[in-house]
């Protein structure tokens, strides 16, 4: 039985609100960082609640956000350049949503350690492959889950 199946078996019986609360507590420091970044961006331009406590936010000014990134997951918050991509129509948008939701799922396993582990993987991927983002284990598994090209 995979880790995901086991996790679903354990949390599947709880109501969505309980799971949302547990997930928020488990990822609290990272989710708070997302809140600070959104506040530093003059607040949300648009925000939407997905399910099980996941919030999608398009900040007003994303000056701190690298231009080549379309989205970023911090805890239970998905920060995006364009929230309309979460009503996916094109194949790219569907893959984008799956990719970001996979990062949320990773966060359920790693909790508040997600950001330190992600940065550690960036370091390892940078040292081993010279590609801290593309060769990062978190990114490669998210691309695999989303059906996107996986190549370090």
**Site of interaction with Zn ion (CB under 5 A):** 139, 142
Q: How far is the CB of 133 from Zn ion (least distance, A)?
A: 8
CB closer to Zn ion, 55 vs 139: 139
Dihedral sign (CA 146, 72, 108, 101): negative
CA torsion 39-42-45-51 (nearest 10°) is 0
> Is there a contact between 31 and 75 (Cβ–Cβ < 8 Å)?
yes
Q: How far is the CB of 73 from Zn ion (least distance, A)?
A: 7
CB closer to Zn ion, 35 vs 141: 141
Element (H, E) at 77: strand 77-80
CB closer to Zn ion, 53 vs 139: 139
Query: What whole-number distance in Å separates Cα of residue 131 and Cα of residue 124?
Result: 9
Q: How far is the CB of 100 from Zn ion (least distance, A)?
A: 7
């Amino acid at each position: 039985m995979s880790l995901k199946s086991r996790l679903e078996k354990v949390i599947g019986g709880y109501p969505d609100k309980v799971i949302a609360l547990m997930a928020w507590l488990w990822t609290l420091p990272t989710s708070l960082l997302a809140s600070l970044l959104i506040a530093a961006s003059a607040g949300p331009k648009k925000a939407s609640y997905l399910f099980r406590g996941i919030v999608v936010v398009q900040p007003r000014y994303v000056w701190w956000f690298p231009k080549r990134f379309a989205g970023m997951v911090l805890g239970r918050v998905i920060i995006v350049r364009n929230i309309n991509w979460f009503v996916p129509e094109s194949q790219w948008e569907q893959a984008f949503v799956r990719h970001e939701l996979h990062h949320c799922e990773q966060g359920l396993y790693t909790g508040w350690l997600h950001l330190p582990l992600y940065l550690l993987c960036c370091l390892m991927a940078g040292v081993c492959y010279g590609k801290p983002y593309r060769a990062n284990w978190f990114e490669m598994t998210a691309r695999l889950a989303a059906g996107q090209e996986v190549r370090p």
